[in-house]
Chains A and B, each alone.
Chain A
Amino acid sequence: MEDFHKVEEFIKIAEKNNISLAQVVVNREMDLTEKTEEEVREKMRYSLQVMRESIEKGLNEDVRSMSGLTGGDAKKIEKARKEGKSITGDLFSRILANTLAVSELNAAMGKIVACPTAGSCGILPGSLITVADENEFTDEEIIDALFVASGIGIVIAKQASVSGAEGGCQAECGSASSMTAAAITYLMGGSNDEIASAAAIALKNLLGLVCDPVAGLVEVPCIKRNAAGSSNAITAAEMALAGVKSVIPADEVIIAMKKVGNALPDSLKETSLAGLAATPTACRIKEELLQNSL
């Protein structure tokens, strides 16, 4: 199996074999699972289908979380967009609405694709699919971009972490944003170096982001951080596609993310002991939820 542990190796395999980054990941998956190319692609096709359904449901159904804390914000953005009230225009407004739709659906026990985690599941579908549909890419092209996203995610998971409990939110929403930036840059025809830059820039911008969920739930601030992760991914992709380079290479950014994660105290890694989770309002919410509990 032609495996890679770094972004640099990922790109080298593609260039040595004169194939796309997407194909590198597909080939690796075929070797790993002893499946055919069509079987591997079919599995990603299913993921894309669930992603699309999660956007639809999140936008159109009455979405309320189990705790009652969140839900309905995607609809607000969508309404404002339709009324022409967006500051940045239609596309960005749709990216935000679609991202929130998926994250809100997750909090409401809806069906989603973890990418890389459930807490960060809105970023990749909300950004990538919206940009792809705007530019009329085919599903097969989006599937290729999803493989590129997973390739970046594989490197991050190997070299650092994609778990909030281990690395903070930078490891979840940061990784998702990095994967998404790379996927969009790939989709829009960016070079391999531009894709690596996009991944690096997106992750750099969210370095140090802590995981401090209110009452321990995947809702506040997680859902809005997905929206931030999407806007950051678009920012990074737009820069990379314009030729802006990341001064720090992607592989070094990933190692830095791991080290920052290690340096973060446990209180800021999903334990809800500090940050937003320790604010007076969060403590009050937690108390109220506990009173309705066992």
Chain B
Amino acid sequence: MSNLSAFDIIGPVMIGPSSSHTAGACRIGNLAKEIVDNKLKDVKIYFHGSFKETYRGHGTDKAIIGGLLGLKTDDGRIKNSFKLAEEEGFSFDFFPVDLDDVHPNTMKLEIIDQDDVKTTIVASSIGGGNIIVTELNGTRVKLKGEYYTLITFHNDQPGLIAKISEILQIYNLNIAEMEVLRKEKGRQATAIINLDQKVEKNILQLLRDIPGIQSLKLVKPLV
């Protein structure tokens, strides 16, 4: 912890009452909004563990909706996020759930965007406002909103990752962390690639054009 900042101690500036249950929930919403990257139509939120038991007293419900609206953790409008969501025209509902073997502060989001595309996200608030998305559309991931992250869904075939890194190299984009996951050999795989630099649209198109890439998404870091 040698890189602990003075503002990790005096800070963050946030809407209370809890860094994990309020600020963390807001950031989960922020990251989910980044992942969906489209206007929202309907969101179902499933609270697990401590979220389920204390969400109302901690304003976790208001914070997650505020986060989905793009409000930051220090935005006073979080308190009125339900009304804002109504004005934005998206509906939401909360449900209790018991998820297996997850962090006590975990929630599952089922998001339908205006094009009726469904995104399912499982995310945990792991302390001090820090969060992690552990599941995206049924695939195990690790997204913390710290980097520009490329998420690919691709055919599990030799050389594909090499092609991705070749393009990244040409444009001088440095891979900070990378993980490749698959459900079964030779079937669909996912790569999570954390980059130190921003990725421009033309580069994203080049990556999408690689044979074997089914889809590719860029998630921007949380501020």
Chain A interface residues (CB < 8 Å from chain B) = 3, 5, 25, 28-29, 32-33, 40, 43-44, 46-47, 50, 65-67, 69, 105-119, 121, 124, 146-147, 149-151, 153-154, 157-158, 162-163, 165, 179, 215-219, 289-290, 292-294
In the bound complex, how far is the Cα of B58 from the Cα of A150, in angstroms? 26
Q: Which of B11, B15, B16, B76 has the most CB of A within 10 A?
A: B16
Is residue B13 contacting chain A, with contact meaning CB distance below 8 A? yes
How far is the CB of B136 from the nearest CB of chain A, in Å?
Answer: 25
Closest CB-CB distance, A159 to chain B, in whole Å? 10
The answer to whether B17 and A106 have CB atoms under 8 Å apart is yes
Q: With an 8 A cutoff between CB atoms, is B172 at the interface? A: no
A109 & B8 in contact (Cβ 8 Å cutoff): no
Cα A69 to Cα B14 in complex, Å, equals 21
Contact B22 A47 (CB under 8 A): no
A55 to chain B: closest CB distance in Å? Answer: 14
In contact, B19 and A118 (Cβ under 8 angstroms): yes
Which of A105, A124, A294 contacts B16, CB < 8 Å? A105
CB <8 Å contact, B15 and A163: no
User: Could you tell me if B56 and A66 are in contact, using CB atoms closer than 8 angstroms?
Assistant: yes
A121 to B58, CA, bound (A): 15
Cβ-based interface call for B6 (8 A):
yes
**Number of A-B residue pairs having CB atoms within 8 Å of each other in the complex:** 144
Q: Which residues of B contact A215 (CB under 8 A)?
A: 53-54, 57
Size bracket of the B interface: 35 or more
Chain A residues near B76 (CB-CB < 8 A):
110-111
Please pick, from A44, A165, A218, A292, the residue contacting B58 in the complex, using a CB distance under 8 A.
A218
Tell whether A112 pairs with B1 under 8 Å between CB atoms, given A66-B56, A218-B58.
Answer: no
Interface of chain B residues 46 through 76 with chain A (CB within 8 A) = 47, 50, 52-59, 62, 74, 76
Contacting residues, chain B, for A150 (C-beta < 8 A): 6-7, 9-10
- In the bound complex, do residue A32 and residue B3 qualify as a contact, i.e. CB atoms below 8 Å apart? yes
Chain A nearest CB from B21 CB (Å) reads 8
Query: When chains A and B are docked, how far (Å) is the Cα of A32 from the Cα of B15?
Result: 26
Closest to A294 in B: B96
Task: Decide if A165 touches B57 in the complex (CB within 8 Å).
Answer: no
B50 touches A216 (CB 8 A): yes
Shortest beta-carbon distance, A263 to chain B, in Å? 21
Chain B residues with CB below 8 A from A109, complex form: 15-17, 22, 59, 62, 78-79
Known contacts A289-B57, A290-B53, A294-B52; is-contact A46 B17 (Cβ 8 Å): no
B residues 22-62 near A (Cβ < 8 Å) are: 22-23, 47, 50, 52-59, 62
Nearest CB on A from B37, distance (A): 28
Known: A292-B56, A294-B55. 16 other contacts (CB 8 A): A32-B3, A32-B5, A65-B17, A66-B17, A109-B59, A111-B76, A113-B10, A114-B11, A114-B12, A116-B10, A118-B23, A119-B18, A157-B1, A216-B50, A218-B58, A294-B52
In the complex, chain B residues whose CB is within 8 Å of the CB of A293? 53, 55-56
Interfacial chain B residues near A114, Cβ < 8 Å: 11-14, 19
Report the minimal beta-carbon distance from A187 to chain B, rounded to whole angstroms. 15
Q: Find A294's partner among B10, B18, B95 (CB 8 Å cutoff).
A: B95
Which of A29, A50, A67, A124 meets B13, CB within 8 Å?
A: A50
CB pair A46 B6 closer than 8 Å: no
Residue of A nearest to B17 (CB): A218
Q: Is the CB of A216 within 8 A of B53?
A: yes
Q: Chain B's nearest CB lies how many Å from the CB of A186?
A: 14
Please name all residues of chain B whose beta carbon is closer than 8 Å to the beta carbon of A118 when the two chains form the complex.
Answer: 14, 16-19, 22-23
Q: Report Cα–Cα, A164/B76, bound state, in Å.
A: 25
Q: In the complex, are the beta carbons of A43 and B7 less than 8 A apart? A: yes
Q: How far is the CB of B47 from chain A (nearest CB, A)?
A: 7
Determine the residue in chain B with the shortest Cβ distance to A124. B10
> Which chain B residues numbered 160 to 216 have a C-beta less than 8 Å away from chain A?
none
Cβ-defined contact, A154 with B6, below 8 A: yes
A50: B residues at CB distance < 8 A: 13
Q: How far is the CB of A175 from chain B (nearest CB, A)?
A: 9
Question: In the complex, A115 Cα to B12 Cα: how many Å?
Answer: 8
Q: How far is the CB of A120 from chain B (nearest CB, A)?
A: 11
Interfacial chain A residues near B22, Cβ < 8 Å? 109, 118
Q: Is B128's beta carbon under 8 Å from chain A?
A: yes
Contacts of B89 in A (CB 8 A): none
Q: How far is the CB of B14 from chain A (nearest CB, A)?
A: 6
* Beta-carbon contact of B57 and A3 below 8 Å: no
Tell yes or no: B4 within 8 A of A by CB. Answer: yes
22 A–B contacts from the bound complex (CB under 8 Å): A3-B2, A5-B2, A33-B5, A46-B13, A107-B17, A108-B17, A109-B16, A110-B76, A113-B13, A113-B14, A118-B14, A118-B23, A121-B16, A146-B10, A147-B6, A153-B9, A154-B9, A157-B9, A158-B1, A216-B54, A293-B55, A294-B95
